[in-house]
A = this chain, B = another copy of it.
Amino acid sequence: MDLRLTPEMEAFRDEVRGFLEAHRDHYAPGAAADRPREAALAWQRLLIEHGYAARTIPKEYGGYGAQPDILKTRIIAEEFTRAGAPRGLANQGISMLVPTLLEVGSEEQKQAWIGKTLRGEVVWCQGYSEPGAGSDLASLQTKAVEDGDDFVISGQKIWTSTAAQADMIFCLVRTEPDAPKHDGISYLLFSMKTPGIEVRPLKTMTGSAEFNEVFFTDVRVPKSSVVLGRGKGWFVANATLKHERGMLGDPNATEARLHSLIELMKTETVDGRPLIADPVFRDRAMALQSKVLAMKFNGLRGLTASMRGEPAGMAGLVVKLQGCELNHQIAALAIDALGELGVLYEDGPHLRAKGSWQWNYMFDLGLIIGGGTAQIQKNIISERGLGMPREPKLAKA
């Protein structure tokens, strides 16, 4: 146990800090859900050039080409947060497709897509879930029928964020309807401009459409769009999902939220008394702080394991379940402590933090459900983490 940094790492921290100070004028956020604007693209290029984005992606594919160094990655993250500097582009193309192509893409696919995706020139969306295939993703029904050199795709996807802005989609389709369900799926890359694709915004309880439904009617794409090979889609997708799971439950973000909550409780009053002076709410805030700290150090422990190439084990398996729940609980306490003010939303002079506590309360519930419901997470923890039996097969009805 030694949380101090080596002189080399301290030097690296200074370097990052220096860069951020020198380039303050170039800061340009690229919101996840939109097409990035030119300033954001320029900032992204600058970050790649200095190794603060696409750091470990090989140079030949448009990355910076550094060796993986989780500690440096973390220092970069910390310094960007500290400076309030935008982290460069974060979208599903960069977080999910790029690692997948690096792992299982053909050389041609890597050349074609990785660089452009990293630089934000191509924006992707993800076509996985379907109305009938959520927790049971492998039962997906969108079919791709062979026709000459093409597949002809029909079906529907759901929970597709960025679909309206995306140039391209990475999409799971059923190419072999007669194969066992996990073996009949292929992973395709194709343009969202292809005729026959319709995108409908999917409004959620927050009132905004964070997702879309995507409908395919006889969408024709060349067979060369397949990644890895026909029937290999389930394998490819699992490589990708692995990368997604890591994105949920960032303890630093949770810590920042708790900090905001405590600030809120210090500044807001009821009957002239600060909310934090209420012992019941204060006790809840402190109980949440216990959990936030535990998750933070659990993250550092996982980081150390990753640095050594060791599996994170149980410490990793619990992150999604506990992290999402914690965020939800922080928002719940903010709402409760605000009392009647806590129900306000959307607009109005009495609204606090632009209604973000209620927004988070609802959106975080979506995260508890999405990307593997809490029930699926508990299955995973008990089966993979504790070695308990899988759900037994049922007798035929």
A-side residues, CB < 8 A to B, are 278-280, 283, 392-396
Contact = CB atoms under 8 A, between A and B. Distances in A.
Nearest to A393: B395
Contacts of A396: 395
Nearest to A395: B393
A221 B17 CA distance: 89
A277 to B, nearest CB: 10
Contacts of A279: 278-280
A283 B395 CA distance: 49
A290 to B, nearest CB: 14
Nearest to A282: B280
A280 B393 CA distance: 47
Given A279-B279, A393-B395, A394-B394, 10 more contacts: A278-B279, A279-B280, A280-B280, A280-B283, A392-B394, A392-B395, A393-B394, A394-B395, A395-B395, A395-B396
A394 B394 CA distance: 4
Nearest to A278: B279
Contacts of A393: 394-395
Nearest to A284: B280
A283 B278 CA distance: 11
Contacts of A283: 280
Contacts of A392: 394-395
A278 B279 CA distance: 8
Nearest to A392: B394
A278 B280 CA distance: 9
Contacts of A395: 392-396
13 contacts: A278-B279, A279-B279, A279-B280, A280-B280, A280-B283, A392-B394, A392-B395, A393-B394, A393-B395, A394-B394, A394-B395, A395-B395, A395-B396
A337 to B, nearest CB: 14
Nearest to A280: B283
Nearest to A396: B395
A325 B278 CA distance: 28
A396 B395 CA distance: 7
A283 B280 CA distance: 7
Nearest to A394: B392
A395 B393 CA distance: 6
* Chain B CB within 10 A, most for which of A278, A394, A396: A394
A119 to B, nearest CB: 52
A286 to B, nearest CB: 10
A396 B279 CA distance: 56
A276 to B, nearest CB: 13
A339 to B, nearest CB: 15
A157 B324 CA distance: 46
A375 to B, nearest CB: 14
A61 to B, nearest CB: 47
Nearest to A279: B279
Contacts of A278: 279
Contacts of A394: 392-395
A96 B393 CA distance: 39
A394 B396 CA distance: 8
A278 to B, nearest CB: 8
